[in-house]
Structure 1
Amino acid sequence: MTFNGYGVWAIYKFEMARALRTIWQSIVTPVITTALYFVVFGSAIGSRMTEIDGVPYGAFIVPGLIMLSLFTQSIFNASFGIYFPKFTGTIYELLSAPVSPFEIVLAYVGAAATKSAVLGLIILATASLFVPLQILHPVWMLAILILIATTFSLFGFIIGIWAQSFEQLNFIPMLVVTPLTFLGGSFYSIHMLPEPWRTITHFNPVVYLISGFRWSFYGSGDVPIVWSLLATFGFLIACLAVVGWMFKTGYRLKT
């Protein structure tokens, strides 16, 4: 079977158009939320905590804020994108179309990752209005941004297939991912924590993702960059394996 580029583009274009129809929820709301975080954390806390690892506190939290929005928006965009066809019953038309599972995943995950990466760059531009930013490794910053957006879009795609209701669709992002992000060094360095909490925090996978992204800005992180990249690629491979199994078995796709 040859690669169906037209089918991939049709799904991708439809998903991107949906973002434009809901631009307030997709773009404006996360940007306003980011601005409020800067007001609360940057001003209120930053006035008492001037620097962390030699970086002004307002600038230190920028990578964490971007990751916080990236995680949630990647999961939401991808999960809703595949769940809605299940909800309306059009998933069977998609599965019977001359589009392979790889092409379906490529289109949905590609669109979700694109929207999330663009949002991340918009938030970065918004943050530059509040604090002076320095990006030591801009190429790595962009690469890590795209890699994490793709990984969490895959994770969201899995959630969208697994979920059987809108409540389940929001369960993992709200009650699992968001708390792990707040506890993963988004607004502080884990080196500030006393033992045994510092050691326990290393079992939080989000720590490695945020630390790697922060390294691309300031050249330092809570964990070595090698461990951050290994953790990110490991999560990506695990998500790919789960998606492959879902399509192979038809898990909650054909029932």
Structure 2
Amino acid sequence: MNLRAIQTIYLFEMDRMRRTVAQSVISPVISTALYFIVFGSAIGSRIQQIDGVDYGAFIVPGLMMMTLLMQSISNAAFGIYFPRFVGTVYEILSAPISAMEIVVGYVGAAATKSLIIGLIILATAHFFVAIEIRHPVWMLAFLVLTCVTFSLLGFIIGIWADNFEKLQLVPLLVVTPLAFLGGSFYSIKMLPEFWQTVTLFNPVVYLISGFRWSFYGQADVGIAVSLSMTFAFLVVCLGVVWWIFKTGYRMKP
């Protein structure tokens, strides 16, 4: 494995975070803080607790997960799309590095940036609510797994997109609604039985449920099911990336 090539791609992408710190870090943190203020204060005054957890603390895992999904996709999608847009991707493809090394460099950087933002949001949440993390190791595991999985999805979107509008199409029209309807701000147990069943077809439910379990030991879906669904989606994304490099889909003229 060409570690120098991976390091070069990784550090170049990480340096983008430093150059655009206002957009990459400050903006998502402020947006999430506003969610804490609006939902924690306005709705929290009407809904005191859910499953024995204060509402302000209950929504922390959902807000973190929602931000992680969006940031992971956006970072990875733009990271690979921009070289395609300016044509420098052909220099990367012609270099003596493998497809796996390219993916590890871009996806690793995108996942790292999302992980940093997630930890900053977690630290920020302590200023608003009292948070308990019962399973810190599982919490970090879910963070890393989510960042890597959705960075892979963002990498796929960045290759599929042929203009800047398409880069935002899936995050805004697909991922955001799924995150809002996936239990970010409520427990799916609060829904009528029919809608509970429908909600289980939303893959984001399993991410948020498992992540919330790592905080409070309570989940809408079993932890084993959450992990299985997340790993299944990871495998699907890896399969799509493998197919892209095997066929050269939108990577070669």
> 2:193 aligns to what SS in structure 1?
coil
Matched, 1:141 2:139: yes
Structure 1 counterpart of 2:30, one-letter code: I
Match of 2:129 in 1: 131
Q: 1:94, 1:110 → 2: CA distance?
A: 16
Partner of 1:197: 195
Separation (CA, whole Å) in 1 of partners of 2:124 and 2:237 = 31
Residue aligning to 1:243: 241
Residue 98 of structure 1: how far off its partner (Å): 1.0
Once the two structures are TM-superposed, the CA of residue 35 in structure 1 deviates from its matched residue by 1.1
State how far apart, in whole Å, the 1-side matches of 2:68 and 2:212 are: 14
Give the TM-score normalised by structure 1.
0.99
Aligned partner of residue 221 in structure 2, secondary structure = coil
Secondary structure of the corresponding residue to residue 196 of structure 1: helix
1:80 aligns with 2:78: yes
CA distance in 2, matches of 1:252, 1:220: 43
For 1:213 and 1:65, locate their aligned partners in 2 and report how far apart those are by CA, in whole Å. 11
* Residue 34 (structure 1) shift: 1.1
Query: How many residue pairs get matched?
Result: 253
Find the counterpart in structure 1 of residue 12 from structure 2: 14
Q: C-alpha distance in 2, partners of 1:86/1:31?
A: 29
Q: 1:44 aligned to 23, 39, 42, which one?
A: 42
Provide the rounded CA distance (Å) in 2 between the counterparts of 1:86 and 1:27: 25
Q: What corresponds to 1:93 in structure 2?
A: 91
Q: How far apart are residue 12 of structure 1 and its match?
A: 0.3
Cα deviation 1:63-92 (Å, max 9, x = unaligned): 000001100000000000000000000110
Query: What's the CA shift for 1:99?
Result: 1.1
| Per-residue deviation, 1:195 | 2.8
Correspondence for 1:208 among 203, 206, 211: 206
In 1: Cα distance, 2:50 partner to 2:193 partner: 19
Indicate the SS of the match to 1:61: helix
Secondary structure of 2:139's counterpart equals: helix
Q: What is the CA-CA distance between 1:230 and the residue it aligns to?
A: 0.2
Partner of 2:21: 23
Distance in 2 between the 1:13 and 1:143 partners?
Answer: 23
TM-score (norm 2): 0.99
Is 1:183 the equivalent of 2:181? yes
* Paired residue type of 1:145: L
1:110-169 deviations in whole A, cap 9, x for unaligned?
A: 000000011000000000110000000001100110000000000000000000000111
Q: Aligned partners of 1:184, 1:151: CA distance in 2, in Å?
A: 17
How big is each residue's C-alpha offset from its partner over 1:152-210, in whole Å with a ceiling of 9 and x where there is no partner? 00000000000000011110000000000000000000000013111100000000010
Matching of residue 112 in structure 1 with residue 90 in structure 2? no
The percent identity for this pair of structures is 68
* AA in 2 matched with 1:150: V
Give runs of aligned pairs for residues 152-163 of structure 1, distance below 5 A: 152-163=150-161
For residue 134 of structure 1, give the secondary structure of its aligned residue in structure 2.
Answer: coil
Q: Give 2:252's match in structure 1, choosing from 228, 237, 254.
A: 254
- The AA in structure 2 aligned to 1:131 is V
Match among 219, 222, 226 for residue 221 of structure 1: 219
1:150 to 134, 148, 151: 148
CA distance in 1, matches of 2:98, 2:246: 11
